[in-house]
Structure formats: C-alpha cells, structure tokens
Structure 1
Amino acid sequence: MAQRFAPDERSAEITAAARTLFATRGIAKTSFTDVAREVGVARGLIYHYFPDKDALVTAVLDQHVARFVTSVQEWDGAREPGNINKALVDCISLLRSHLRSMNPMHTELQRVENTGLYNRFLHQAVTAIVDCLQLTTIEAYAKLHRIEISHVRETFYVLIYGLVGLARNNPAVGDDVLIDITRQVLRLPVEVGDPQ
C-alpha cells in the first residue's frame, strides 16, 4: 500500500521531483509521466495538484523566489545597522550565491524557447525582493539617512534587475564593480575606510 501524504507534503514532493528533472532533463523534455515515475505515483495524481505543466513550472520557480526572499529577510535581520559597506558586500555575495544555486535551472531558463518563462520568473523574483527590501532595509535606512534618490521602488527594481543580468551574463565582473554600481545608483555615502 502506498504511503499517504498530507496535500502540502505531496505537492512539495512533486515540486521537488520536477525541479530535479527540469534541471537535468530540461523543462521541454520532462513530462508529467516522468515526474510521476520520479515520485512513484500515478500520473493522474500529478494533475490533481497541478492542472498543467505551466502550473508545475511556476511552482518550481516560486520555490526559488521564496528561498531568495527568505535569505534577504535573514540577511536584513542579521545586518549591522549603519554599516553600509558591509551591507553592500553581503548583498552582492547573497546575489552571487543565489545565481550559483540556481545554475542548472538558470541554464534551462536561458534556452530561447524559455525566454518568456525566464522573463516572468525574473520579474516575479525582482518584485518579491524589492517588496521585501521596501519593508525592511529601505525603511531602516530612511530612519538613519536621507534617501537621495527619487522613485525608490522603481530604482531598486531596475538596479536589482540590472545586477542580476550583469552578474549572470558577465561572471568576470567583480563584486567590487557591482558594489560600486549599487552605491552610485542609490547615491549611498562613502564611509570612512571604504574602498572607493
């Protein structure tokens, strides 16, 4: 007799199997039958949780976004208030870490046939990160410093989108360059002892 799972557990198990298969076989070459075989269930059960492949792909990408947002929240909780340079170094490190952790899936999303999916994912990820920063880091910064930019939300959106693109498409660009770009775009003050 098959083991019974709570709906959330089963959905998570299916999503994890799909993530693995998408990264190794590709999104286009992974069928619901493949996912069902990986999980060890009937194909119809996959349809019970995900009406179509697009919903399953969205669930996999939602997990990546949620992990990134959680790490931004953890970073913000551990951040040393007022230490702008350390915050910038840590943020760029966090960005690079997430780009590396998604590497097999990123490779799959880079395929021409997945351009729309990648754009949707990137928009969702950047929007979620900006939402998180707006409620945490930006608000905390505004209590200590004057924000020197207009259109704060939109500026952060463009900045994060641009940093992801630059870091992903040109990995040779150093962290110091990404930090400097961030400092310039956000008009952050240079602290005494900061490398310039």
Structure 2
Amino acid sequence: MTKDNRRSVKPPAVRHEEIVRAARALFAEQGVRATTFQQVADRVGVTRGLVYHYVGDMDTLVEQVVDASIADFAADVRRWDAARRPGDIDGAVLGAIALVRRHVRPEGTPAAPRFDDVATSQQYLDRAIEAVVDTLEETTIPAYAARHAIEIAHVRETFVVLVHGLVALVRSQPGTPDDVLATIVRQTLRLATPDPAAG
C-alpha cells in the first residue's frame, strides 16, 4: 500500500467493514491465533492504532467476524428462500444442501472460518444455526405450511437438530453425495411427496 492509501479518510462504517473483512480473510487463510492486528492493518492499508481504535482488542474483532459470518449465512438463506419455486421440494432441498456446503467447509479449506479454539468455533456454529433456523421460521416453514401439512412435532427443535447434523456430516464427510443428504432431509422433515403438477 502507498502512503496515500494509508492516509485516505473513509466513513467509519466503511472503514470498520474493511477491517472485519480483512480479519475474516486472514482468519480463513491462517486461523485466529496466527493473525495479528498488524497483519489486519497491513491488509487494510491503515495503521495498527486505527484497527485498535475501531475494534479494541482481538476478542472483540473475533466476535465481529463471527457476527459478520452469521449475518452472511442468514442472508444467503433468505436469498435461497426467495429463489425457490413453490411446490419444487426436491429443488429446494438440493439448493439448501448447496447452501450448507458453501458455508460449512471442511477444516483447511481456504474460505472456511478457522476459529482456533473450540469455544469460539462452537459459539459460531451454535449461533449460526440459531440464525438459520430463525430465518427458516420467518420464511420457508410458513410457506411450506401454506401448501402442505407439517408432519413433524417440535418443528424448531427438529430443524436445529437437522441443521446441526448436516453441518457435522458435511464437515466430517465432505464427499457424502447430495442425494444421500437430500434423503436425510426428506426423511427427517417427513416432506410431502413431490407433486408432478407443481410449477
């Protein structure tokens, strides 16, 4: 970065987003423990003091990266829901599986968040799944219920267990075929038989 870039003045919200984005990229490349404020500053093209000014300490920066990652996951769920074709259950299930694969990659994949300690990793996972299920409760579940009977009890809890299970399976066995994952989703949610006249 040139000195001119280092001295450019940007609105606080823009600068803060740049810092969080740089930290996310560094965490994905090398993990949290190996990332320093100086590396984040260098990536953004600002001084280390400015990074401290915006985020305070590494714990706060990690929390903000967790928040940003969760927000992206929930926004992706909303985009997936908006793109679904009513009645195309199989298409929706396969789209949901692709979404999970995008956000939950096996450890060591370049774009995956690498939270080095178990507590932060578990916090990210738990909060991300809660946000995803919250989004499904606002969008997909009522839309499905408007067309089909929901055949499961404890709907929210079932979705939490299902999403946790899909995440664990995709992480630990990334080669699991989509049709196997789709069958698990269909069986768990007791989804309606596809309607040949749908669409």
Q: Distance in 1 between matches of 2:124 and 2:113?
A: 13
For residue 54 of structure 2, what is the aligned residue in structure 1? 49
Q: Is the 8 A contact 2:106 2:174 kept in 1?
A: no
Q: Distance in 2 between matches of 1:93 and 1:116?
A: 27
Q: In the alignment, residue 106 of structure 1 is paired with which amino acid?
A: A
Q: What aligned pairs does 1:63-142 form with structure 2 within 5 A after superposition?
A: 63-100=68-105, 103-104=109-110, 106=112, 108-109=114-115, 111=116, 114-142=117-145
| Letter paired with 2:178 | D
Shift of 1:35: 1.4
Q: Tell me if the contact between 2:97 and 2:181 (Cα under 8 Å) persists in the aligned partners.
A: yes
1:13-64 superposed Cα distances (whole Å, 9 cap, x missing partner):
1112212222223211111122122222222211221121111112222222
- Counterpart AA for 1:7: P
Question: Does the Cα contact within 8 Å between 1:24 and 1:104 map onto a contact in 2?
Answer: yes
Residues matched between the structures, number: 190
**Aligned-partner Cα distance in 2 for 1:116–1:13:** 26
Asked if 2 retains the 8 angstrom alpha-carbon contact of 1:65 and 1:125, the reply is yes
Coordinate RMSD, CA, aligned: 2.0
Q: What SS does the aligned partner of 2:86 have?
A: coil
TM-score by length of 2: 0.87
Could you tell me which residue of structure 2 aligns to residue 35 of structure 1? Answer: 40
Structure 1 residue 175 displacement after superposition: 0.7
Runs of 4+, deviation exceeding 4 Å:
none
Query: Would the alpha carbon gap of residues 117 and 14 (structure 1) be closer, same or farther in structure 2, given more than 3 Å must change?
Result: same
Larger helix proportion of the pair:
1
Q: Does the Cα contact within 8 Å between 1:22 and 1:105 map onto a contact in 2?
A: no
How high is the TM-score relative to the length of structure 1?
A: 0.89
Q: State how far apart, in whole Å, the 2-side matches of 1:9 and 1:22 are.
A: 20
CA distance, structure 2, for counterparts of residue 92 and residue 53 of structure 1: 33
Mapped to 1, the partners of 2:89 and 2:137 lie a distance apart of 16
Gapped runs of 5+ residues in structure 1? none
